[in-house]
Structure 1
C-alpha cells in the first residue's frame, strides 16, 4: 500500500507517493514547472486563485501516477501540507468569493497592530501567544471593513489546506493547529479566541468545525476522484501548515528539537512543552502537529528574510558564468573561518521581524582590497547568513527554549559544509541533514492518521540522515568573528 502527500505552496504544488511498509519514496513531482502567479492589485497585496491550486494539484496527481505506475486502488491515505496564514472565503454553495489573501500579503498589518494595543500586549501574549499581527483573523477583519458585500456572503472561511481538503472530500473543516496559526485559538481558555473574534466583529459560525490533525477527516468524493485520477473513498488523514509539517517531516516533535530551513528566506522552528513568548514579538508561537492541552507541543517560529536570497544574489553578481554553488563552496572552504575579517550582513530582503521590524539592509564590512578576493566574499556571505541564524537561536533560547539538535532538509543552504558547520560550532548543537521533503512527510503522517502505523515515530523513522555536523572544539575564531559581526549589527539596529 502507498500513501500520498501534497505540499500546497504559493510557487507550485508538490506531490509524493511513499510505500507505506518500507517508507521508500516511490516518486515525487511538482506542478507547474514555473512559479504560480501571485497577483498584487495594490502595493502590499498578494493574492492567488484557490481554484488554480486545485487544478494544479489534479495535474500533479496525474503526472505522479503516470510517473510511478502506482494504481489508485493501492493508495490508502492522503496528507496535506499547505502555505500558512492564507484566507479563502466560500459561500453556501462552496464557491470561492474572492481571490485568496495569502501569507505574504501585508494589508492587515495596521489592523493587527491596533488589536494588539486595544486588547493589550499581556492579554494577547498570554491567550494567543502572539500579536494578532497580519495573520488570518486580521485579514478577515480587513474584508469586513473594506469589502462588506463579500463579507455578507461568507458561509465559511478556510485556510489554504482546508480548501484543498474541501475540494477532495466536500467537508469544510480545520484543525487546532490551523486555528492557532490564524490567531483564532485561545491557549489559556483552550477554546476559540472569542475576545478577538468579538473585537473584530467576526461571527463564530464563519469558522469551520474542528477535526484532529491526524485521523480520518473525510474521504475522496467521486467528483474529486474523476478530476485527480484517484479512486473514490481514499481517506484524507492529515493536514498541517508547511512549517509545522516541515518540522514533522524532519522528526522534530518534542522539546529540545529544532527544524531549520535555509531557503530564499530562513526559518528556525523549535518545539516547547509550555507557553513561551518573546516580549518584543520577534517570534510566533503556534500549536504543533502533536499538540494536546494535556501534553502541550508548541512550535516557536522565527523567520530570517535575508538568507539564501543573499547568497543567490552574490552568485548572480560575482560568480563567473557557469559557476555552480558547489564551485562557490569549494572556494569558500579555501578561506579560514572568519574570512580574514570580512563581514557580511545579509539583511537585504525587507524588514526583519527578528530585528524588531527594522531593515538595516545588506552590508559588506571591513573590505580590504589587497587581501580579500572572491573566495573571501563567498565565505563571509555563508558565515554572515549562519550568524543571522545563530542570532535567531539566541532569541529562541531567551524565551527558555533549550536546543539539543538541529534538523534540516537536504535542499537548502545547509548542504554547504561551511554554513552548516558554522551553525553547529556556534550553537553547540549537532546539525543533521535529512533526506526528506514536506510532501513525503505529509504522506507518512497520513499513513499514521489512516492507521497504517501504530505511532507517529514509526511512520517517520525511515527518514535517512544524509550528513551530520557536530560542534567542533576549536571554535574560538568563529566566536570572535560572530561577536565582531554582532557588534556591527547592533550599531545599525539600536
Structure 2
C-alpha cells in the first residue's frame, strides 16, 4: 500500500499529515513560527524558517507514522494565500516574504484598482487588497527599487516549499488567482494588468492543476528530510481551497465556514460568478470546473489569540476560554466587538480599519469580552453571507472547520448568527487532508477529486442547530454591528499609528 502526505504552510505554523489512501491518519506533526512586524502595518516571515520548520515536521511525522520513505507515494501542499516570495537570479529570496496580513501597500492597492479598470469585471473578478502579491510588488518597485530590480521569479508561500522539495518553480490555479495578477475567468496570468502596472513580465511562474504532479523529491531535499526521491509532489492549492477539499466541499450549494488565524465563508459555484460590488472574492477551486465565492476576512481566530495573549495574558487552552464564553448570554449583554485588528478585506475593503469594543459597562467581565470577540468575527462573516444571498447563491449545507469547529460555544454562535445548522467532519487537519487528497489523485489512486472526497471525507451525523431565541437577538445586533462600522470608518485614517 502506498501512503500520502499533506503539508499545510499556515501563518503561525506548518503542519504535516501522513495518511493512507482511505483517509486514515497515521501521524500529524507541526512546528510554529512567528510573524515579524518590523514596522506598523508590516507583516513578514522568513522563507528559510518555513523550510527549516517543514523539514523538522516531515521528519517527525514520518517517524511517528512508522512507514518507510519509499512507501510515501505522494505529497500535496496547502498554504497561506496572497503573499509574495521573490527570488533573485540564484533562486534565493531577495527579502523576507511579504504575507497576506501586510497592510503597507494601501496606496498601491488603490493604484492597481485604478489601472485595472474594466479588467476587474472581465478578467480578475475581484478587487485588489493590501497584502496581495501584485500590490506588494508595486510597493517594492516604488519604495525599494534596488530590491525590486533583483527579482527574477515570484511565487506564493507554499510554492516556496514545493521548490525546496522538488527544485521546480511553479504555482496552481487556486493560489495564483489570489495574487490579483491572474485572470480568474481565463485561468492565466493577466498580462494586460501587469503591463499597465509597469511590472516585470517574465517573473511569473508556470501554473498547473492542483492535483497535477510538479516533480519528484530531489536529492537535496531527500537528504534534509529523509524522504525518498521516488515520492511525487503535486502542485497543491491555496489553503482556502485545500480546506474546502479536505472537508469535501466541492459541489455547488455546499459552503464552509472556516475560522483559523483568518476567517472565510465560502460557497461553491459551477461558473465564475462574482459580486459586482467586489465585496467578496471569486477564486478558482481545486476542481477544474468549479469556483468558489468567498468572504475571505483578515480577522478570525487571531482576534481571540490577541485577546488571550496580549490583553488577558491567559495561559489556559482555548477550549477553556470557549467554555467561559458559553456562560454569558448570546449577545454578551450588549457588548459588541468590531474585529478589524488587522484592517479588513471583506466585506468592507478597509486597510485602515481597527478593532472596537462598543457598549462596555461596569457589569461586563472577562467572559463577556471573550464572547463578544467570538461573536464579532461571525457578525463580519454574516455580512458576507448576506452578499451571497444577494447574488442568489445556494446555501444548502454548511461545514465548519478550523479551530472554531472544535469549540462548543464557537459552533453555536455560528449556527445562531448564520442561521444554519453547523456540520463538522471527522477530519483532523482539513487543509493537510485536502492537500493529501490532491496527491492521491495525482498519484492515480483515484480518478478525480470527487471520487477521492467521497471515499475519504466523513461527516459527523449530528449538526449544531440554531436556537431561535439567539437568532432574534443576533439579528438586532447585526444591524448595530453594520451601523457602528459605517459610523466610525471615516475616523480610522485619522488615527496616528506610527
TM over 0.5: yes
Aligned 1:27-66 pairs, distance under 5 A = 27-32=27-32, 35-36=33-34, 38-66=35-63
Does the 8 Å CA contact 1:343/1:381 hold for their aligned counterparts? Answer: no
Question: Aligned with 1:206: secondary structure?
Answer: coil
Correspondence 1:349 to 2:345: no
Asked if 1:453 corresponds to 2:446, the answer is yes
Alignment TM-score, normalising by the size of structure 2: 0.86
CA drift of 1:8 comes to 1.3
2: distance between equivalents of 1:442 and 1:351?
29
Unaligned runs of 5+ in 2: 488-498
Give the corresponding residue for 1:290: 287
Shift of 1:159: 1.4
Residues 61-113 of structure 1, C-alpha deviation per residue, up to 9 Å, x if partnerless?
Answer: 11222222211010000101112112222233322222222222223221121
Larger deviation: 441-450 or 89-98? 89-98
Change (3 A) 1:62 1:148: same
8 A contact 2:282–2:291 mirrored in 1: no
The reply to whether residue 415 of structure 1 matches residue 409 of structure 2 is no
CA displacement 1:279-322 (0-9 Å, x = unmatched):
4433222211113xxx3423423315265624872798679x78
2:182 maps to: 185
**Residue 239 (structure 1) shift:** 0.9
Q: Name the SS for the 2:29 alignment partner.
A: strand
Whether 1:23 and 2:14 are equivalent positions in the alignment is: no
- What is residue 389 of structure 1 aligned with on the other side? 381
Contact 1:81 1:439 (C-alpha < 8 Å) held by counterparts: yes
Conserved 8 A contact 2:208-2:235: no
Please report the TM-score for the alignment, with normalisation by the length of structure 1: 0.87
CA deviation map 1:393-449 (0-9, x unaligned): 11232233221111123x522333343234324434321122331223212221111
Determine which of 442, 447, 465 is the counterpart of 2:459: 465
CA spacing shift, 1:366–1:118, aligned 2, 3 Å: same
| 1:396-435 equivalences in 2 (<5 Å) | 396-409=388-401, 411-434=402-425, 435=427
Deviation (angstroms), 1:197:
0.8
When the two structures are aligned, how many residues end up with a matched partner? 480
Match of 2:294 among 291, 297, 300: 300
Flag the 1:342–1:114 CA change in 2: closer, same or farther, 3 A: same
Distance 1:168 1:308, change over 3 A: closer
- Distance in 1 separating the partners of 2:228 and 2:271: 42
Cα distance change of structure 1 residues 222 and 431 upon mapping to structure 2, 3 Å threshold: same
- Deviations along 1:184-230, one digit per CA (max 9) or x if unpaired, are 22244453212211112223321112222112111111121111101
Higher deviation after alignment, 175-184 or 481-490: 481-490
Match of 1:175 in 2: 172
Q: Is the contact between residue 90 and residue 96 of structure 1 (CA under 8 Å) also seen in structure 2?
A: yes
| 2:97 counterpart residue number | 100
For the 8 Å contact 1:304–1:389, the answer to whether it is kept is: no
- Aligned residue number for residue 124 of structure 2: 128
Equivalent pair of 2:416/2:470 in contact (CA under 8 Å): no
With over 3 angstroms needed to count, the CA separation of the structure-2 counterparts of 1:175 and 1:458, relative to structure 1, is same
Q: Out of 266, 272, 277, which is 2:274 matched to?
A: 277
SS of aligned partner of 1:78: strand
